[in-house]
Amino acid sequence: MSERTLLAVRGLTKRYGERTGCLDVGFDLWPGEVLGVVGESGSGKTTILHCLSGRTVATAGSATFVQRDGKVVDLLRMPEAARRRLARADWAMVQQNPRDGLRMSVTAGANVGEPLMALGARHYGKIRGQALDWLGQVEIPLDRVDDLPATFSGGMQQRLQIARSLVTRPRMVFMDEPTGGLDVSVQARLLDLLRGLVADLGLAAIIVTHDLAVTRLLAHRLLVMRGGEIVESGLTDQVLDDPQHPYTQLLVSSVLPP
């Protein structure tokens, strides 16, 4: 219990003119912990990820992150070059649409090898070896290593994106609806894969999703967002089984059991 938080977010606010993206959002993330963020579209879930990953500039707040070397930085206020360096080494993003996270013009193997090269790896044989190892981990047949991602199914593309994101052993992963565009049959496989990887690698992760079943399976804790604000937070099973806020109760009771 005494270990340090990896990320401490306080007062995170994003305004788009009159409109509010997110308002006074605060939470902590510990190493190895998976945080689920749920709420309907437009509730500010994705805005949080965009602010933390530097895709949009936050209006106010802080996001204190402890780097691998122990140095503490504010993700919302750091110079662009330093942020890019940190993004390569310490965190990764898994997009809802794998085409946004992959380079479609290069092979599957190159997609997994590139992040290693960006971190300075030069030995071709070793890079290819690691790429093959990761393709195996995400259950992509190794004889597809030289194929272009466009020839892959949606589920395979998503698994390839996950391999590309995790090959550098990041300490924190942002996932935006990682199972969003997939068939239900493919989702289960991906979820199980993610569950195993997150646990084995001790990853901290923030998973934005509207799918409560996904959070039940993957997230230790939940934040429930509505209109840009956190309306409820707690242990995943507490929030889902004994929701307190009217909006959370509505969300939980609106899901049709299969």
By CB under 8 A, tell whether 227 contacts other proteins. Answer: no
**Of 116 and 190, which has the nearer Cβ to other proteins?**
190
By CB under 8 A, tell whether 256 contacts other proteins. Answer: no
Using alpha carbons only, what angle is made at residue 227 by residues 51 and 100, rounded to the nearest 5 degrees? Answer: 40
- The neighbour count for residue 255, using CB atoms within 10 Å, is 11
By CB under 8 A, tell whether 250 contacts other proteins. Answer: yes
By CB under 8 A, tell whether 217 contacts other proteins. Answer: yes
**Of 14 and 159, which has the nearer Cβ to other proteins?**
159
For residue 83, the surrounding DSSP H or E stretch is helix 80-90
Provide the 3-class DSSP secondary structure of residue 23.
Answer: strand
By CB under 8 A, tell whether 244 contacts other proteins. Answer: yes
For other proteins, the binding residues in 142-181 under the rule CB under 8 A are none
Closest approach of Cβ 27 to other proteins, in Å? 11
Strands (E), the chain: 7-16, 19-29, 34-38, 60-66, 72-74, 91-94, 172-176, 204-208, 221-226, 229-235
**Of 78 and 252, which has the nearer Cβ to other proteins?**
252
Binding region for other proteins (CB under 8 A) out of 125-133, 146-154, 167-175, 214-222: 214-222
Closest approach of Cβ 164 to other proteins, in Å? 23
Whether the CB-CB separation of 220 and 236 falls below 8 Å is answered with yes
CA distances, 189 to each of 8, 98, 104, 136, 139 (Å): 32, 16, 23, 14, 10
Residues that contact other proteins, how many (by CB under 8 A): 24
Q: Which stretches of the chain bind other proteins, using CB under 8 A?
A: 1, 30, 33, 188-189, 191-192, 195, 216-217, 220-221, 234-235, 237-238, 241-242, 244-246, 249-250, 253
